[in-house]
Structures are given as structure tokens and as C-alpha cells.
Amino acid sequence: MASKYLELAFPNLRGTAYEITSPSSPRYNCVAWAAGETHRWWWPAPSYYWPKGVTREATLSTFVAVFRSLGYAVCQDDRLEAGFEKIAIYVDAAGVPSHAARQLESGEWTSKLGPDVDIGHVDLKSLESATYGVVSQILKRKKDAR
């Protein structure tokens, strides 16, 4: 299902097979969604959830530390690997983390767009934009490593 407002924010979605997979919800965000949660908002600001022991800074190294605390390790690419699940961290033009996406078993990706909808998208480039910037880091963990 195409959405004009999503394609304005994310021009690379145009002409791709993306799908809105949930209604809007301010309850959780992309970091929570990538981590497998839907009941709280994850962000390093004091009023949001952030894993214990991880510095509350909006830096790439801190976001990598968050996902390492969940069993992920840095990897080199976004290709589907049997037995692994992957996440991608996007950074804006200033290098500040702006988004996280999770790979599905099909090899496609899923993203929560702030307080808006969740979408399924065919690749990571679909969300690269002025809004989210570019993918800066891919991490993976063995499935069922939670």
C-alpha cells in the first residue's frame, strides 16, 4: 500500500514494494522495534528507556553498545544469513543516530517510523534520506539469542 506522505519523507520508497504493517503508535519507536519491543520508547534521553550500563548519549558507538548488550556483534553487510538476525543503524548528516531497522526472515526489512506506522521495506536504501541519513552500521546475532 503506497503512501504519499511516506514517499515525501522517504523518496527512495517510491516505486518499491513497501507495505504499511501497523497503525501509528506513539508507544514505541524504531530502536525499541529493532530490539523486538513494542511497549516502550527507547532513546538515551532521561525520560525514556535505555538499557542499564549503556551511556545515555546519542552517538553511533552508544547505539552499537545498546545492541551489543542484546547479543549483537558488528558485521560487514546486510545480506541475509541463515541462523542470524540483523539490525541496521542509520545516522544523519551530523553522524547522530536517527533510525534503526530490523531484518526479517525473508531478507526484507522492517522499520518503525517514529510515532508513526511500521513498514516492511525491500532494502535499507529505501529509507536513506534527508530524514534519516544513511546506514552506518550493521549488526547481527544468532537467532533466539535473547
Mean pLDDT, residues 56-62: 97
The domain containing residue 99 runs over which residues?
Answer: 4-142
Q: Model pTM?
A: 0.95
Q: Are 12 and 127 in contact (CB under 8 A)?
A: yes
Mean pLDDT, residues 15-20: 94
Question: Considering the chain, what is the average pLDDT of its residues?
Answer: 95
Mean pLDDT, residues 96-118: 96
Would the CA dihedral through 8, 25, 72, 63 be positive or negative?
A: positive
Phi-psi region of 63 (alpha: psi -120 to 50; beta: other; left: phi over 0): alpha
Residue 2's pLDDT band, with cuts at 50, 70 and 90, is low
Q: Is residue 1 pLDDT above 60, yes or no?
A: no
Mean pLDDT, residues 30-45: 97
Rounded Cα distance, 91 and 32, in Å: 17
For the chain, the domain total comes to 1
